Amino acid sequence: MWEQLWSFSFFTMLLAISPGPDNIYVLTQSLVNGTKSGIVTTLGLLSGCIVHTSLLAFGVSAVIAASDVAILVIKIVGAAYLLFLAYKVFRSDASITISEEAPQKSYLELYKTGVVMNLVNPKVLLFFLAFFPSFLWNPTENTILQFYVLGLTFMVVSFFIFGGIALLSGQISTYLLKHSKTGVYLKWLQILVFIGIAVFIFIP
């Protein structure tokens, strides 16, 4: 169990650090509206993860309980999707754009925006489907509870990373503007993480 959780936390940390729409949005809101706004935005984004975790837990658990073949199919589909994400990152622009022209919003508006951003993005559920099942430590017992433990771990690790981005938003933005090659390094980090998880899925 603990070995799986450590591996899961490690990959989650790398993914949270890699540039994406969520952490860039947190960075932007922190720059424009302050650190508290970035943290509130983070809480909104992570709240949406509860819904995705529930859909995953109650939907996939039934499939996993059905047969070993179903587990293998989920692994194959998950690995294929992760490799597809790696390919999309490879084809994308490595530059990181930070806008300081975001509109001022109240804490409630920021929280609701974060929740909606997460819930209406089907890619989040697809990613959870590809990522979570391989870290179940005992697929034959109470997978619903295991999915919720993984979901909570994902939210806690992401909160600390995103919260750190909010707290250090000024320094991070200054560093990114001064070091243009940082985007390239982070791009390849993201590619390696996706490929690494895809390979990890098939390690006994």
For CA atoms 23, 26, 28, 30, give the dihedral sign. Answer: negative
pTM for this one? 0.77
Q: Which long-range contacts (CB under 8 A, 24 or more apart) does 101-104 make?
A: 101/32, 102/28, 102/29, 102/32, 102/33, 104/32, 104/33
Average pLDDT (47-55) is 89
Q: What percentage of the chain carries pLDDT values higher than 90?
A: 18
| Residues 115, 57: Cα–Cα separation, whole Å | 19
Mean pLDDT of the chain: 81
8 Å CB contact between 103 and 29: no
> 77-121: per-residue pLDDT in tens?
778 888 887 888 788 776 656 555 556 678 898 899 889 888 877
The owner of tokens 């949270």 is 16
Average pLDDT (127-154) is 87
Question: Which of these ranges, 13-17, 59-63, 151-155, has the smallest mean pLDDT?
Answer: 59-63
The per-residue pLDDT for 81 is 82
> 151-181: per-residue pLDDT in tens?
999 999 999 999 998 888 878 777 766 777 7
| Residues 29, 122: Cα–Cα separation, whole Å | 23
Rounded to the nearest 10°, the torsion over CA 132, 161, 83, 135 is -20
The per-residue pLDDT for 146 is 92
Nearest by Cα to 74 from 17, 126, 4, 141: 126
Q: What percentage of the chain carries pLDDT values higher than 70?
A: 85
| Residues 47, 90: Cα–Cα separation, whole Å | 29
Confidence of residue 39 (pLDDT cuts 50, 70, 90): very high
Question: Crossing angle, helix 107-119 and helix 35-66, to 10 degrees?
Answer: 30
Residue ranges covered by each domain of the chain: 34-200
